Chains A and B, each alone.
Chain A
């Protein structure tokens, strides 16, 4: 009797999947040509993309890097159409730094490198926690590097916070929580208003340690955009959180003030606030008062961003189930502890996309300052065109500015996606 095998003793070699459904061909078939309609649409889209690229690439690759005027570009191109990159070669430093003295560029560069160092431990929790000390010092270091002047100004300003902390600590034991809170605000304010100036002058006369001062008028280009953007972003988040909490508060006055502020700022266009900063404030203040224009603009942009931030954070607070608040109360946590340990970590996590898109919006809104005569990249592009050599150049300048903005905004949005993935704890 023959030995019938109906079960295989060995595995068959695996076959390659059919060529039509694997590799590049398979991907194309699945994604681009899965049905007649899709095939038609794909062909049309590819044709469109090709025609755009075919027109753009020759324009972008243009041998005009060394040209020193638009007419020279035209001579080099001999009638062909192409970009005139000479303007970027000649003016890119101006677009980045404005009128900042060129021998002091290192201060701006150092400032933004340090900014990365200061922000890193906040963004990436894997880094040593000790770096946060530097992050706390950075807000005082940054203006000193940018504007120059005596080192004692920022040191004395920082001392104010130290004094406030000390007052809080001492008074809490002696006088109780509320009094300590009030003192912690009052002591630094008195220090800054009345004592900081004379003290810093006195110390500076003993130990003059100063950088060459640079006036705000010389700020311009991307450096101006980034300065306004970073300061507004950094300050608007804490103010926004406080406003969002204020809006939910049971205390009538606190709630009304918060609601009034938020609704007023959101009801007014940023342009109007900037005009108030540049012209109206000037008229109301006594003539001769020299209230720095960039400082005025930063304050306005910060207030504007804070109101939006407050609403974004409020959205996060509203999305938290009521049980979280009740659980915090049940544990016997006081208001601030509950916020710090339970409410805010969850609310902010929910709000990340909103917060980051507000950040990006604020950063892009800084270009509006060109309307009040500050020379940010857009304002500078007009000034550059006013040079007879470059009059008539439009796309090259706007393209360069758009590229720079894209780099900043795109990295911000990528970071937000990274943060969302990292913090996803899987409740929903």
Chain B
């Protein structure tokens, strides 16, 4: 009953918001600032530095959108959101786009009236264990105590996984990631489970990181992506195609280093020309400048550059591309054609 009422209120808010917010693109342009909801702090994905400048993999998406729409990757009001406040912040219109490692699920898309504009990171839930536990597969975790963040999809995935495999476990509920690290290192649990990207980031900070392994099983699908409200398709298109432009740029070999040169005159590849606005009118169709994609790519580089800079193998987090490689190299990153 309570849930129905709550969802009803949310839906109503979503509807009324979408009615009044028709033309969010124009609103953002007149405002001169993009309100972007981000994680208040997730290693590699969103964090403020000592000067208060936000950076990270999700933040880079916001910067690309701001660059494409407003020609300034810094014209952003970053709104830190928590797992609990993120959806109301978006539904109520406090933020224009939510780029906060949010999993694309059926209910969030359909029931909460949001529109996922693509996937910028394919994640999945994994387990980390101490080497001396002598476990090499998650299926050997029968009877283990497991640290798990409450109130997340990971909690449900964990229950499903152990039920399917007919195993028992002893959950140790924890609230924040910092607490999970402390509990796991203090030996309060045999294993800690959360998204594999976060596990890698955590392991990188351990003093004896060589003594911990991330088990090979990935027990859930967590496609993370930016999302907007239902009902303003023009704005949704801007967000969707900005993300696609970053992904396509990597596929086509357009980088922050050569984008200015490629955009200065039409080249031999017509798709690059259309993407960069030297041919055709794609920018105009979106309601943006012809060189919108040039600005988006110059803001932080193409998808591959953003990945390498924030979470790639050269960083302490050291994530391999894996599923997030281009489709041409065996991954799932596949931007529809710019035509």
Contact = CB atoms under 8 A, between A and B. Distances in A.
Contacts of A279: 85, 88-89, 92
Interface string A98-121: 110010000000000000000000
A375 B92 contact: no
A383 B40 contact: yes
A258 interface: no
A383 B84 contact: no
Contacts of B85: 278-279, 372-373
B201 A382 contact: no
Given A371-B84, A373-B81, A386-B46, A392 B206 contact: yes
Contact of A70 (B88, B176, B205): B205
Nearest to A291: B94
Contacts of A267: none
A388 B57 CA distance: 13
Interface stretch (B48-56, B117-125, B246-254): B48-56
B207 A287 contact: no
Nearest to B82: A373
Interface string B82-110: 10110011011110000000000000000
A93 B49 CA distance: 12
B80 A287 contact: no
A98 B40 CA distance: 13
Contacts of A384: 41, 47
Contacts of B48: 94, 99, 383, 387
B207 A388 contact: no
A394 B181 CA distance: 10
A388 B317 contact: yes
Interface string A259-285: 000000000000000010011101100
A283 B91 contact: yes
Nearest to B46: A386
Contact of A388 (B40, B44, B50): B44
Interface centre among A70, A275, A371, A382 (most CB of B within 10 A): A382
A282 B89 contact: yes
Nearest to A101: B52
16 contacts: A91-B50, A215-B77, A217-B79, A278-B88, A279-B92, A283-B13, A287-B92, A372-B82, A372-B85, A373-B89, A379-B40, A386-B42, A387-B48, A388-B43, A388-B205, A391-B43
Interface of B: 9-10, 13, 16-17, 20-21, 27, 39-52, 56, 77-82, 84-85, 88-89, 91-94, 176-178, 181-182, 201-202, 204-207, 315-317
Q: Which 4 A-B pairs have the closest CB atoms?
A: A386-B41, A392-B205, A386-B47, A282-B92
